[in-house]
Structure 1
Amino acid sequence: MAARHPGGALAVVLTAVLLASACAADRSAEAAPGENPPVELRAAHAQTPDHPYQVCGLEHMQRELADHPQANLSLEIFPSGQLGSNEENLEEIQAGSLDLSVPGLGSLTIFDDRIGALETAFSVEDQQELQDLLDGEIGGELIEPLRTTHNVRILGPLWALGSRHITANRPITSPDDLAGSAMRTQQTASSRATAEALGATPTPVDFGELYLALSQGLVQAQENPLVQIDTANLTEVQRYIMMTGHVVNVSILSMSESTYQELTDEQRQVLEAAADHAAAEVNQCIADAEEEILERWRATDAIEVVGEDELDMDAFREHAREVYTGEDSAYAEDWGELYLELTEESR
Structure 2
Amino acid sequence: MLKLSATILGVVAGIALAAPSANAQTKLRWGHVYETSEPFHTESVWAAEEIAKRTNNRYQITVFPASQLGKENDLNQGLSLGAVDIIISGSSFASRAFPPIGVTYYPYIFRNPDHLLAYTKSDVFKELTAGYEKASGNHIAAVTYYGVRHTTSNKPIAKCADMQGLKIRVPDVPAYLAMPRACGANTSPIAFAEVYLALQNGTVEAQENPLTTIEAKKFYEVQKHIVLTGHIVDHLNTVVAGGVWSKLSDADKALFTEVFQEAATRATKIIQEREAALVQTFKDKGISVTEVDKADFEKTVLAKVPMEDFKYRRADYDRIRAVK
SS of corresponding position for 2:79: helix
Q: Structure 1 residues 214, 263: closer, same or farther in 2, change over 3 A?
A: same
Q: Would the alpha carbon gap of residues 102 and 198 (structure 1) be closer, same or farther in structure 2, given more than 3 Å must change?
A: farther
Aligned mate of 1:238, from 198, 206, 223: 223
Is 1:341 paired with 2:318?
Answer: yes
- Is 1:314 aligned to residue 301 of structure 2? no
Give the corresponding residue for 2:178: 193
| CA displacement, residues 108-151 of structure 1 (integer Å, 9 cap, x when unaligned) | 12112222221011111133433444444433443213323312
Farther-moved stretch of structure 1 (257-266 vs 127-136)? 127-136
Matches within 5 A, 1:94-173: 94-156=80-142, 158-173=143-158
Q: Considering only aligned residues, what root-mean-square deviation do their CA atoms show, in Å? A: 2.4
Alignment partner of 1:90 is 2:84: no
Distance 2:257 2:317 in 1: 34
Once residues 31 and 224 of structure 1 are traced to their aligned partners in structure 2, the CA distance between those partners, rounded to angstroms, is: 50
Point out where structure 2 has 5 or more consecutive residues left out of the alignment. Answer: 1-17
Paired amino acid for 1:305: V
Instruction: Name the amino acid aligned to 1:232.
Output: K
Query: Which residue in the other structure is 1:14 paired with?
Result: none
1:48 counterpart residue number: 35
Larger radius of gyration: 2
Pairwise CA distance, 1:96: 2.6
Given the superposition, is the C-alpha separation of residues 140 and 340 from structure 1 closer, same or farther in structure 2, using an over 3 Å criterion?
Answer: closer
Q: Does the CA-based 8 Å contact 1:48-1:54 persist in structure 2?
A: yes
The secondary structure found in structure 2 opposite 1:110 is: coil
Q: State the percentage of identical aligned residues.
A: 23
Distance 1:142 1:267, change over 3 A: closer
Q: Distance in 2 between matches of 1:313 and 1:143?
A: 29
Q: Which residue of 2 aligns with 1:224?
A: 209
Contact 1:71-1:266 within 8 A present in 2 as well: no
Q: Deviations over 1:297-323 (max 9, x none)?
A: 22222x2211x3xx2222112111112
1:206 Cα deviation (Å)? 1.6
| Count of matched residue pairs | 307
Contact 2:107/2:301 (8 A) holds in 1: yes
Counterpart secondary structure, 1:191: helix
Aligned to 1:20: none
Contact 1:163 1:249 in 2 (8 A): yes
Residue among 80, 85, 94 paired with 2:66: 80
SS at 1:244 equivalent: strand
Does the Cα contact within 8 Å between 1:106 and 1:119 map onto a contact in 2?
yes
Is residue 31 from structure 1 mapped to residue 16 from structure 2 by the alignment? no
Please, which of 253, 264, 269 is the counterpart of residue 238 of structure 2? 253
- For residues 261 and 187 of structure 1, do their structure 2 counterparts lie closer, same or farther at Cα, with a shift above 3 Å needed? same
Shift in Å, 1:237:
1.0
Q: Is the 1:47–1:81 contact (alpha carbons within 8 Å) kept by the matching residues of 2?
A: yes
User: Normalised by the size of structure 2, how large is the TM-score?
Assistant: 0.86
Give CA deviations for 1:55-92 in whole Å, capped at 9, x if unaligned. 2x212213312432525122211111111222221111
1:198 Cα deviation after fit: 4.4
Q: Deviations over 1:253-287 (max 9, x none)?
A: 01102112223344333322211110111011101
d(CA) in 2 for partners of 1:300, 1:312:
24
- Are the equivalent residues in 2 in contact too, given 1:123–1:346 (CA < 8 A)? no
Unaligned runs of 5+ in 1: 1-28
Q: Specify the code of the residue in structure 2 equivalent to 1:106.
A: S
Match of 1:296 in 2: 281
- CA change 1:71–1:261 in 2 (3 A) is farther
Q: Secondary structure at the match of 2:89?
A: coil
Per-residue deviation, 1:246: 1.4
Aligned-partner Cα distance in 2 for 1:233–1:160 = 21
